[in-house]
Chain A
Amino acid sequence: MSRLDETFARLRAEHRTGLVAYVTAGDPDLARSAEVIRAVDRGGADVIELGVPFSDPLADGPVIQRATERALAAGTTLAKVLDLAAGLRADVAAPLVLFTYANPMVRMGITTFARRAREAGIDGVLVLDLPPEEAGEARAAFVAEGLDTIFLLSPTTSVARIRRAADLGGGFLYGISRLGVTGARADVADSAESLAARVRAETTRPLALGFGFSRPEHIRAVGQWADAAVVGSALVQVVADHAGNPDLGGEVERYVRWLRS
């Protein structure tokens, strides 16, 4: 059983809605990013997603685009994100999932990447522009290293492809609750509930819903239909707002704790 499997089994046993927290690794720089990740963990996130900054984040909205630019300007690379994770692994309780675009991984070499990710203590990998049809080689490499392959599902995903993602994936399924790019919204989209219902009809694999969530009531709402909620852009915005604050970690920890309230 992987660390992600254990986390979701525990959430179900405790009848608790999980919080998956996304941060852009290396934002605002590698040293303070480490502080942010530790704070997210202390705040009680159940899973931490580390976004690998990429020059052309075409699935991301403005908040994560800006974070990506800050991280790249600070010299963050995929190799340094892996080093960052390795340095944190011993102190961070939550499973770590790398959230990346395909090209940095392809450039490193997929088998090299998988080995280094495992050595760094990464638990799962989500490649944004690698749908199941293109993921054969990467998935095989991840399985060989004991990494869970996380697939995305969207309101436009067919039933047949939901089944395929559930069969090929590991850890949990990441449901995109609305059409569009990443970014916080005021309300939970109606499409969140219908996507969750469609996924539930096909598989018992844990489901985390994301895109647009920023408040504790969003997470409670998601808990009616799914195992966990993902908070990304809103948390990245907290990092942006307090990047120059000596108590960056404190601000991040308080925000994550509030999400769990």
Chain B
Amino acid sequence: MTTPTIVPTHNFGTRDPDARGYFGAFGGRFVPETLVSAVEALTEAYFEARQDPAFRAELTRLLVHYVGRPTPLWEAARLGAASGGARVFLKREDLTHTGAHKINNALGQALLAKRMGARRLIAETGAGQHGVASATAAALLGMDCVVYMGTEDMARQALNVFRMRLLGAEVRGVDSGSATLKDAINEAMRDWVATVADSYYLLGSALGPHPYPLMVREFQSVIGQEARAQILAQVGRLPDAVVASVGGGSNAMGIFDAFVDDAGVRLIGVEAGGEAITIGRHAARFAGGAEGVFQGTRTWLLQDADGNVTATHSVSAGLDYAAVGPEHAWLQSTGRAEYAWADDRAALAAFESLARLEGIVPALESAHAVAHVAALGRELGPDGVIVVNLSGRGDKDVQSVANLPGGRA
């Protein structure tokens, strides 16, 4: 097998939403008045930056020499053999500096923040990976960083809380609502409304008001650009399916993006099925949600009959979120992407089996995508080629999995 030289590249400016930030009926800018001028200025600055060769060169330099890109595309032969004999390839985002795809976006936005003159980064985090990535970018670029995190998530991702503090970030616990990711986003937005003059809100997923869903997807598009070139080099053809877990949806959008125009490639997002698809016990928006407006965007969300956002559950903090990025809602509405879910039990089984079959401990988020591979592999058979976005590594989850009833591992 020859290994071609792949330089990390992005897909900038080829699949923009409309001028108001809509992908079909989804997206937009549903923000309090004080933030309108901020998101307008951000859009303008981002559109300028993504066309600036100097900005792009600096981002590429960081991705190559600091993050360690390109990440490998690893053929997981033993996983494939256990999945109906299909050829399964893992896009190894877990091997990036800080251990998850989140760094691709955090560095891009932090460079933009610096260019815009901000001195302080505000971030929210669920599993802690985006918080760690933001704290890392802030340290590297000499900026202040405040990370909001639900207290429930702080308890289950204690290692990442320590890492963020070690990196010099201030972690502020949020105990309102369900004390998880959505509440951290609420609190981050409250901070931004008060500090909009000198702070930059570094949103971690393809969510929120325009331009965030576009910008985050484009910074993550490096995943798909690399993976597409790598699979062509290694297999000589496009895959039958690309699979990724979907919380807010940034790792999935990042890898889907390069394949959206390849009509023969199935794009499969895997949501968190939690304990059961009943209110409050899962985070599978397309399975139990409805259209609505939440945290700046029109999209699918889990809500009750009165329009209040309902509680969610997932063993994975990073997927435990009530809404999905608006571009996913659009891809689902057009049928271009399909959405499945994996429950806690399946994700935990995949977490263990990937460790034992491939020597790779995935993040619980990524384990949801891995969990979908067995059935898909059997469906496609030995001729099938599947690319899975292994969005992050599982070190952060080892302790909480070990603590689960039944005493795993």
Q: Which residues of A contact B (CB under 8 A)?
A: 54-59, 61, 65, 72, 77-79, 102-108, 128-131, 133-134, 151-158, 161, 176, 179-181
- Check: B30 CB closer than 8 A to any chain A CB: yes
Given A56-B182, A128-B32, A104 and B196 touching (CB < 8 A)? no
Inter-chain CA distance A105–B291, complex, in Å, is: 12
Give the nearest-CB partner of A156 in chain B.
B37
Chain B window 110-139, contacts with chain A (Cβ cutoff 8 Å), 1 for yes, 0 for no: 000000000000000000000000000000
Q: List 29 A-B contacts (CB under 8 A).
A: A55-B308, A55-B309, A55-B310, A56-B182, A58-B185, A58-B186, A59-B32, A59-B190, A65-B176, A77-B308, A78-B307, A79-B306, A103-B294, A104-B307, A105-B307, A106-B292, A106-B293, A107-B303, A108-B306, A128-B32, A129-B31, A129-B296, A152-B32, A153-B33, A154-B32, A157-B33, A161-B36, A180-B194, A181-B194
Inter-chain CA distance A112–B305, complex, in Å, is: 14
What's the dominant secondary structure at chain A's contact region? loop
Shortest A80–chain B CB gap in Å is: 9
Q: Which residues of B contact A (CB under 8 A)?
A: 20, 28-38, 176-177, 182-183, 185-186, 189-190, 193-197, 290-296, 301, 303, 305-310
Shortest B345–chain A CB gap in Å is: 28
Across the interface, do B33 and A154 meet the contact criterion of CB distance under 8 Å? yes
Across the interface, do A131 and B293 meet the contact criterion of CB distance under 8 Å? no
Across the interface, do A107 and B34 meet the contact criterion of CB distance under 8 Å? no
B-chain residues with CB within 8 Å of residue A133 when the two chains form the complex: 20, 29, 36
Shortest A163–chain B CB gap in Å is: 14
What's the dominant secondary structure at chain B's contact region? mixed
Inter-chain CA distance A130–B182, complex, in Å, is: 19
B-chain residues with CB within 8 Å of residue A158 when the two chains form the complex: 37
Inter-chain CA distance A158–B194, complex, in Å, is: 17
Shortest A183–chain B CB gap in Å is: 10
Across the interface, do B309 and A56 meet the contact criterion of CB distance under 8 Å? yes
Inter-chain CA distance A140–B30, complex, in Å, is: 17
B-chain residues with CB within 8 Å of residue A54 when the two chains form the complex: 307-308
Query: What 13 additional pairs, Cβ within 8 angstroms, besides A72-B308, A156-B34?
Result: A55-B309, A57-B186, A58-B185, A58-B186, A102-B30, A103-B292, A106-B307, A129-B293, A129-B296, A133-B29, A152-B32, A154-B32, A156-B37
Complex partner residue of A179 from B193, B291, B309, CB under 8 angstroms: B193
Most B CB contacts (10 A, CB to CB) among A72, A131, A151 go to A131
Across the interface, do B177 and A55 meet the contact criterion of CB distance under 8 Å? yes
Across the interface, do B293 and A103 meet the contact criterion of CB distance under 8 Å? yes
Most A CB contacts (10 A, CB to CB) among B195, B196, B296 go to B196
Given A65-B176, A103-B292, A129 and B306 touching (CB < 8 A)? no
